[in-house]
Every structure is written in structure tokens, then in C-alpha cells.
A = this chain, B = another copy of it.
Amino acid sequence: MTLTPPPAARVGDTLSSVSTPSLLIDLDTFDTNIRTMATLAASHQIALRPHAKAHKSSAIAQRQIDAGAVGVCCQKLSEAYPFAAAGIASIHISNEFVGADKIAMAVELASHTALSVCVDSVDQVNALGTAAAKAGVKIDVLPEVDAGQHRCGVISVDALLELVDAIASQSALRFAGLQAYHGGAQHIADWTARKYAANRAADITTEFVRALDVRGIGCGVVTGGGTGTVEFDVTSGIYTEIQPGSYIFMDGDYGGIEWTGSLQFRQSLYILSTVMSANRPGMAVCDVGLKGLAVDSGLPRHTRWALGSHGPTLEYVGANDEHGMLSVKDNPDEHTAGLVGQRLLLPPGHCDPTANLYDNYVCFRADRVEAIWAIDARGMSR
């Protein structure tokens, strides 16, 4: 029996007819963000390889490449499949992986796209090299160095040299440079403190690059950086490639940090939600909760009424599985029953895991749905 829910939206619909909750992209703002980052990279002659973990959509990756990106990053091997299938010609796995299942995925991907991967253990290099040689594929390998995040990556030059030697001993692998990413630095709220952390990460990375350089080992690629630090990364003189992800969307977390410099991105990602119940003064309930909204970086910090809806300013104060609790700002006694059916735009606190909850982006310009883009790598975390 074919019995499936009707689509949330169709191209050409007005925004007022989109079924909720839906994940919306404001295309004017999105396009500006894409251009802003592409211009920044180009003006510093640095390669832009956006991180696809933020959007998980080959349609968006293609737009980034059309604007000048050299390829994309993925964080997991399974995540890379839809991008390779869509013809993205260069994919960097900016993360470590272990196990025969993962090695097999890397080898399969490398037969469809120019694949580079990160490593931080000799065992990983040897397993990958053996499998790649057997399959007759070539894989570029970038050891990850710990640039201050204290997560993955080697922490000493000796350990880095062991990796470089291990890579050199594998005929199917090529040492292509270094991965150096400091995730924690991206989210430091104070602009000056963030600049300091970014510069410190660049300094640590420079030390690793120099240690190889004095041994006659050149790093073709030094890839790192993210949305929060990219304005500093591009002037560091060490990165040849930047890998920001969130800049296309922004979110509550990135929107809440200080942007003192000339680089500015604006919020383009929203959850469209409907008020579905309002029986208590000063309170209302909307139809998006934990199943449609990642809350690891906080609840939506601002709400605004969608075009055609109106009412008092509401604060999103609590998320249950499928309920969002709303409170009337500054007026606990306000009668709210009239708000039922009104529609809100909510900027998610964290864009990446929120996008991972939906199957599609509903992309709009002015009040019209212009495109529906599949989130084709949704849930692909292996």
C-alpha cells in the first residue's frame, strides 16, 4: 500500500502554505554568505573547501563549487557517498577512521572521486595502504596535527614523522600535507580571544610544518580553519586551504559570538513552526521540539513571526519531543488563544545537527518556494 505523507512544500508554493515544521533556507542571505566566503578565500589566494557536514546536501556542495570551492570536506566516510555519487570530484575526509568496514569505504570512494583522508595512527596508515594497493586506487593522506583542540591528531613531531614514514612506505598512498583544525577556537565569544586562539593554532601548525620542512618534506596542503576563525586563518600565512562549514547558514551559537571585524555572515537557516495550542495566559505551544531542533548549543535565541503572521514577541523556553514551549516576552498575562495557527521562524542554536534531522531544505526567496534540496547525507555518520 502506498501511503506516505504529502510533501511539505512544492516549488512555486507561497511560504504560507509550507507544512510545518520545515527547515527553510532564505536564499538571498544564503547566496550572500556563499559569495562572501568565496571572495574572502580568493582575495587571499587560499583554497576554499567547505565542510559538507554542516549541510549534508550535494545540491549545496555543487553551489559552493560553482562559486569557486575546490571540493568539500566530509567528516565521515559514509557521509561522502552522496557527494561522490553526485559527481563532486574532490572530497577530503577531515577525520580519522578505523576498521575494515571503514577502510573498504575509503577504497570504494577513491575509485569514484579524488579522495584525501586524515590519519593519526600508523596502524590506520598501514591498513589503508594495504587495502588501497590491493584495489589499485590512490589516496592522498594528511596526518592530523593537534592544533590546540586536544581531540584527534598527533601531539609531537616524532609521532608526525612516524606517520610520514609510514605513508611513504605505502605505494598506494601519497603524503599530501597536514590537517590542523581547532574546533574549540571557532566558538570563543570574545573576538580578541578568538583571534588569539586562532593565531596560537596557526603557530602550533607552523611548528609542525617547519619540522617537516627542515627535513626536506614539503606540505603541499595545510588545511584547517572554520567559520569562527576564518578571518584570522586567511592571514596566518600557514593555511593553504580553509574548511568552514556553518557560514552558509549561521546559527544561534555563531550568531551569539562577537564579530568585530569586517567579515559578516547572516542567519539564513530557520525552522518554520506553527503555534498549535495556547490555553494559558502568556504561554503558547508550537509544533517543533527535540525531533526538529538540536538543542546542544541552546534553544532558539530569537523568534520572529513568518510573513503574514503576527503577535507579541515570544521566547522559546523549552523543548519536548514534539512541543516547543513559548512564553510571551514581558507579559505573562497576555491572552494568547488568537495565536493558534500563526507561524514562527526559529533560528536553530546549532545548524549541523539540526540539518541532520530533516530530509529536505525548503528554499525560499521573498515569499515563494524556489527549490527543494535533498539532505542526501542525512544520518550518514559511519
Binding site for B on A (CB under 8 A): 1-6, 8, 17, 19-22, 53, 75-78, 81, 84-85, 95-99, 101-102, 104-105, 108, 112, 120-121, 123-124, 146, 150-155, 159, 183, 274-277, 279-280, 283, 285, 287-288, 290-292, 294-296, 319-323, 325, 337, 340-341, 350, 352-353, 356-359, 378-382
Q: Smallest CB-CB separation from A294: which chain B residue?
A: B290
B279 touches A5 (CB 8 A): no
Given A296-B295, A379-B357, A382-B20, A85 and B3 contact (CB-CB distance below 8 Å): yes
The 5 A-B pairs at the shortest CB distance, nearest first, are namely: A5-B78, A3-B85, A152-B277, A19-B101, A290-B353
Q: A19 to B382, Cβ gap below 8 A? A: yes
Can you list 15 A-B contacts with CB-CB less than 8 angstroms, sorted by A residue number?
A1-B85, A4-B81, A5-B81, A53-B321, A96-B276, A96-B277, A98-B275, A121-B277, A121-B337, A152-B276, A152-B279, A153-B277, A296-B319, A321-B352, A357-B381
Chain B residues with CB below 8 A from A150, complex form: 280, 283
Output the least CB separation between A166 and chain B (Å): 14
Q: Are B97 and A279 in contact (CB under 8 A)?
A: no
A120 to B108, CA, bound (A): 54
Given A121-B277, A121-B337, is A350 in contact with B290 using a C-beta cutoff of 8 Å?
yes
Using Cβ atoms and an 8 Å threshold, which residues of chain B touch A159? 279
Contact B123 A279 (CB under 8 A): no
Taking CB atoms, residues of chain B closer than 8 Å to A102 are 19
Question: Could you tell me the distance between the alpha carbons of A379 and B3 in the complex, rounded to whole angstroms?
Answer: 16
Task: Report whether B152 and A287 are in contact in the complex, using a CB–CB cutoff of 8 Å.
Answer: no
Q: Give chain B residues whose Cβ lies under 8 Å from the Cβ of A84.
A: 3
Is A98 in contact with B146, judged by CB distance below 8 angstroms? Answer: no
Q: Say whether B287 contacts A5, CB under 8 Å.
A: no
Q: Which of chain B's residues has its CB closest to A22's CB? A: B382
Query: From residue A181, how far is it (CB to closest CB) to chain B in Å?
Result: 11
Interfacial chain B residues near A337, Cβ < 8 Å = 121
Known contacts A3-B84, A81-B3, A341-B99; decide if A285 and B151 are in contact (CB<8 Å): yes
Which residues of chain B are near A85, meaning CB under 8 Å?
Answer: 1-4
Contact: B151 with A320, CB < 8 Å? Answer: yes
**Distance in Å from the Cβ of A227 to the closest Cβ of chain B?**
13
Cross-chain contact A296 with B285 (CB below 8 angstroms): no
A75 to B323, CA, bound (A): 9
For the complex with contacts A151-B323, A295-B295, 17 further pairs of A-B residues with Cβ separation under 8 Å are A3-B81, A3-B108, A6-B105, A19-B99, A76-B287, A98-B274, A121-B277, A123-B340, A151-B325, A152-B277, A153-B277, A155-B279, A155-B280, A290-B296, A291-B353, A296-B296, A357-B357
Nearest Cβ on chain B to A51's Cβ, whole angstroms: 9
